[in-house]
Structure 1
């Protein structure tokens, strides 16, 4: 699931030819298939906020401008690490002028895929579990799921809360739910792909 890792995108150690560089600029990146269109749009909006001059590249000037507007004075080390970061951990080519949107999206995908989904889910639920009991009130959970972030509709919330993880006192046992979710995801990942006909 979310804790899936994928290897380096760096390819071979030899420098790419002009034909390879040209082709890589024209062909769409597979990273766009990792996200839903709405997510890509959100990343585009975030990228355009950082790309202050709107030239399609996040450069040192863009970063300085955005940090300045936030009241932050970045160190030289911070600027270098942001500008030299590349998908798959590659070091930037000295001739590169910044990070384009495809690179940005790839780096975001790498960071998101590195997250531990189980731990993130537990931490999210723990925010509502004041007594650290492993369960939260269904009504409070319903309120948050319907009003905050990626809002769920009432039917989706009902399916979640009317299942076997809700007790008679109206509490949702999120620790057990996350355990079962993890087992289901691990089983799904271990299944061989269906045979092609």
Structure 2
């Protein structure tokens, strides 16, 4: 899992906090995790979050840090999960909106926009991100290219 910047996390939090109350619920957090391909139960989230039913932005940042640290400490366990390809297939399907087996620039931009991570002023970033891992230069990411991109972010 690649690390997000504080600005990225703040934008995600603001997108989730639709009513502007400065809080996101466990349900909203679960929705976000499912959108990026992680299935979890409300009970698991409550165990991670403690007794609170909502997170403010600071708690959200701490939650993110806990997830990243858990992933890093997973060591071999995390590598085994990635070698299984199950989670990577789920993540790939999140981006492959038309289910054609490829991630296009438009699909990448659409998913990043939904997550609040897309800045309309940086239109060329999408093409640049794909071209970095597009081994056959077709302008699309197939699953193997996506897998290489995700695994290289873990090292």
Larger fraction in helix: 2
Q: TM-score, normalised by structure 1?
A: 0.37
How does the TM-score come out when normalised to structure 2? 0.43
Question: Whose radius of gyration is greater, 1 or 2?
Answer: 1
